[in-house]
Structure 1
Amino acid sequence: MSNVVETVKQVVKPILDKHSFYLFDVEFVKEKGGWYLRVYIDKTGGVTIDDCVLVSDELSEKLDELDPDPIPQAYFLEVSSPGAERPLRNEAELKQAVGEYINVSLYKNLNGSKSFEGTLKTLNDDKLVMENDKWGKHPVVEIPRDLVAKARLAIKF
């Protein structure tokens, strides 16, 4: 299935470049008895439903033109945003999130918790520094990088 993903990435790139979007991810998965091709796109300021429809229409047309068909089975095409609480999957995405409100899950407890939500103030090779005024006397926490299981953007309530 990685062939499908790689082919779709190549086909969608010029479409996204033309509209100043960027590719967040592509997945091709079987769920509930059907195949789903999911293309996650983004742009500065976020994407709209109209943006997703535009990319879906253009991508569908381009995929239909390919011969041989890279996806011979029936599938559903879904184009969407990665979401407001998108995962921060790598160093570059973490760096972009400095100053943003995030959620960090840990492999083991730190200060009695395995999860922290707050503003990412800084990061380096050794630690993340987060701040949240709801944490009382200790509004800043330093999280060793080797304890971080996953991180994502979060919505502040």
Structure 2
Amino acid sequence: MGYELVRIAVLGRENPTVQIMADRADGLMLTVEDCEAISHQISAVLDVDDPIAGEWTLEVSSPGIDRPLTRAKDWVRYAGHQVKVEMTIPLPGGRKRLAGIVLGAADGMASLRVESGETMALPMADIRRARLVLTDALIDATQPGPKTLPEQHN
């Protein structure tokens, strides 16, 4: 279909909502028409396979500007931007939450530079949530046209 899955979430127990977050494979912004096309395709599959008992609601959306980073390619694409991360298990020292600058990802590890200047490699399998922080640099990076890299602070 020309789309990439970013995240699937099922929320609620009675009348659950299936949330689908998607990107366009060509890197352009996801439109309302794209969401509608994805919704029709997924609805048709879910109606036939019926994996959810009873009534449910389907929501299809773009990840938004302050998107979650769920794939290695997200960590690479948004290198230089601020991120907040929550881990499923504590890191050495007991921390489960941290913030920093995205450096990239490789071999199942996401990298970021925290406020102290330390570079941390996080196992992607242990990341519960990672979400970009809304900044002017991020807004600029998501606009059409020439891009400027965010300022690097050491």
Q: Which interval holds the TM-score relative to the shorter structure? A: 0.5 to 0.7
- 1:79–1:95 CA distance, 2 compared to 1 (3 A): same
Is it true that 1:34 corresponds to 2:30 in the alignment? no
Alignment root-mean-square deviation, CA: 3.6
> Does structure 1 conserve the Cα–Cα contact (< 8 Å) formed by 2:5 and 2:22?
yes
Tell me which amino acid in the other structure corresponds to 2:117.
V
Alpha-carbon deviation of 1:156?
1.4
Larger Rg: 1
Alpha-carbon deviation of 1:74?
0.4
Give the aligned partner of residue 45 of structure 2. 62
Alpha-carbon deviation of 1:84?
1.5
- Misfit runs of 4+, over 4 Å: 105-108, 114-118, 121-127
Distance in 2, Cα, partners of 1:126 & 1:74: 38
Distance in 1, Cα, partners of 2:23 & 2:113: 26
- 1:126–1:116 CA distance, 2 compared to 1 (3 A): closer
Distance in 1, Cα, partners of 2:58 & 2:30: 17
Tell me which amino acid in the other structure corresponds to 2:134.
I
Distance in 1, Cα, partners of 2:55 & 2:104: 46
* TM-score, with length taken from structure 1: 0.56
> Does structure 2 conserve the Cα–Cα contact (< 8 Å) formed by 1:102 and 1:151?
no
Distance in 1, Cα, partners of 2:110 & 2:3: 32
Relative to total residues, which structure has the larger helix share, 1 or 2?
A: 1
- 1:38–1:121 CA distance, 2 compared to 1 (3 A): closer
Tell me which amino acid in the other structure corresponds to 1:104.
K
- Which of 75, 79, 95 is equivalent to 1:98? 79
Give CA-to-partner distance per residue, 1:87-112, whole Å, 9 cap, x none.
Answer: 2235443223224x22234879xxxx
Alpha-carbon deviation of 1:28?
2.2
- 1:59–1:123 CA distance, 2 compared to 1 (3 A): closer
> Does structure 2 conserve the Cα–Cα contact (< 8 Å) formed by 1:42 and 1:82?
yes
> Does structure 1 conserve the Cα–Cα contact (< 8 Å) formed by 2:66 and 2:134?
yes
Structure 2 spans left out of the alignment, 5+ residues: 92-96, 137-154
Distance in 2, Cα, partners of 1:27 & 1:116: 23
Structure 1 spans left out of the alignment, 5+ residues: 1-17, 109-113
Is it true that 1:85 corresponds to 2:66 in the alignment? yes
